[in-house]
Amino acid sequence: MIDGRLKDIYSAIQRNPDITHQFVEEAVLPIQDMLESMDEKINILLPKKRKQRQTLPLRDPVYTELFEVFVAAAGSNAKYK
């Protein structure tokens, strides 16, 4: 019984491709509208462009010419208990 109905539906689709195309378009149109509205809502929530941030260095970098001075002075003030 179900096979007979499916065969009838397939034959109707093959005989009337224009009407079938129209039905499919009418079925897809509400889904397409809903997806477009969801896309607009998501675009409203997302930021448009990234904020430019300025980062300050945490400390002055140790340059190679100061490294020898740092190593020479390291531990010079240590006190033994």
**Domain coordinates of the chain in residue numbers?**
23-47
List the one residue out of 48, 28, 25 whose CA is nearest residue 36.
28
Contact, 13 vs 20, CB < 8 A?
yes
Gap between the terminal Cα atoms of the chain? 99
> pLDDT at position 1, please?
79
pLDDT tens-digit profile of 26-81?
999 999 999 999 999 998 888 777 778 887 777 766 666 767 777 777 766 656 66
Q: Is the pTM of this model over 0.85?
A: no
> pLDDT at position 54, please?
80
Compare 72 and 19 and report the one with higher pLDDT: 19
> pLDDT at position 61, please?
66
